[in-house]
Structure 1
């Protein structure tokens, strides 16, 4: 019942936004009955249907080719919709200022009332003069747009140009691939021999009908250039099934590191069939950590399932992942969602590596991400546990990044004994 209510509210908001866009971009800028008005109205119905189709095609089992056809225009429209909305809301300020200035001028102007025919002076000659034959009417020129329509068109044009430029920049940022970030994390229990141990942290690749094999290859090349000791993939690798996206994940075979590559599930794996992906990444030479740990020479590496796994009775199990270990050794935990850091702190984890937030992916969504996660991006401390959150290497939905560029982070562990 609650889920249905949320769906109705979200769908209602989605339609209300499109109604607003139609009013400001079409109704206020075009003349009734004209071709621009008709074309814009058709687009106002078609674009939200296209976006919804892109979002639902995979869940409804549509052929992968059809998903790819719908995905690019559908997802890009979602990004354009966001920035059109932001631009037009800013334009409301311009509109309000213009109306205020105009009313002020009208109030300050002197009243000029033209004398009526009864009040006008008339001479005797005028009274007896024959009526003049009115000149033939001259064809009128097309009327210029009103001031109100001029302002509406100016605001709509400005918002549209800004939205297109922003989405274009954000798309280019995503398709260029992740940049490398570096962070040093001191661990009190880390032995001197492991000083400067490098973990290449990858999250939120989000292979999909939009981001495919070339996207994976760019990420693998970026990781390998850093020469890591270990690769950690902390969830949300895919948005789809193994038959559809397995070929896109194949380049993960080429990951290179001294101690291998490890993987934990994210919430999107459970939307896509987590069991099949766990088996598949194992075939690619990536080691899944399903509420498990492995003892490396200098510290323990553990991983827990994502919270979304609770719906399949496969949620995070800290007792299983961390129970019975030597507490004198440092432990690094891979967990997709930063919100689990409080559980990690209770279990004595030294460092948690997470993703999930995308750093907000597109401003101003960053504010929503900040409100729902303890840390959106970067390094923070919670009790005795340090948390590092990467912005992720890909993008969910629209392949657009604004104010939160994708990254692969090299986490360099530092020993206090060095």
Structure 2
């Protein structure tokens, strides 16, 4: 190998080692949820390669080889690679320990705290482990759970989920999904594909009312959901559309999902939509409070702030939430992870006692179920204390349901933190009791 080639090769190996190190530091991130076993296999292979090359380089150094600098860089890369692999296994060991503690904790306490969680799943052993212990309130079903299944097979899958989590009355077993229509329709196909409700409302014919169109739309959707066994739909989107354009937003895309830029239209359509779901026994979820139609950054990938004042929001973005909060369909409200700096500059809405208690519970007198958006999002995962601290904060704030859908493994981190806080007396007993009453009357 030429001197130049040796320098380039060793530099690239060091770069690879640094990238691997970054990966190792974030090993248990939700980003790897879909391919964690493959990622671990690749990590071991890469680390082995780097260590092997480093050993060879060490021999060259001892032999007084002319290319001492490239050899030294290679040794450094190997050391970084080995250290990174140690970090990966340390993180994995910590996760397995938390999982063991959770699954072997006091069954009564685990079931009691488990009523605060709706979780996704990627394999049946996960469902069985939690189902046997009644450690969650329900399961979230999405695209990867139904690949290749027809309606009959999905119905059997959901029936199995319910059987695994057969709990005594008065607790409900929740089977949730995201079936908004349009670009977010996790069970289509096999359920009928519907255009986004906002698009349908833009194309009203003369004589058609907003309510009648939204009601018919929801009834068609609810029929399919109820036939499968779904009883909680994470829809409708009641964020008012402010045409915010963030080219880097790959996940939220509110302007493609919002019902309208007019709060009155949103309120009428969402109310009729929830009524249509309720007729079929499917609960609706108003999302994403406090309204993220004005928010530029995407909480899937980073912290985001809604800087508008509460006075302005009361007149626009909050109007649909507040008017529908006491609707006969008993909607749930989903809390987003944005920060309202004028009310709580430190905590996102989904974990803020100020927002939950002072605004929603006291000012709005909302005594229904409050549910978080997915806790696997970066706005939660990257916050101080991560998912564990956020879970404790949310429960103490008076939030009833925590959604952990994208990366089910994060449940163990969340529940471990909750059990630890309970043991140390850091959970608010009054808030827990109030939440129990709300959840059981559902």
- Category of TM-score, reference length = shorter chain: 0.3 to 0.5
More helix by share: 2
* TM norm structure 2: 0.37
Larger radius of gyration: 1
More strand by share: 1
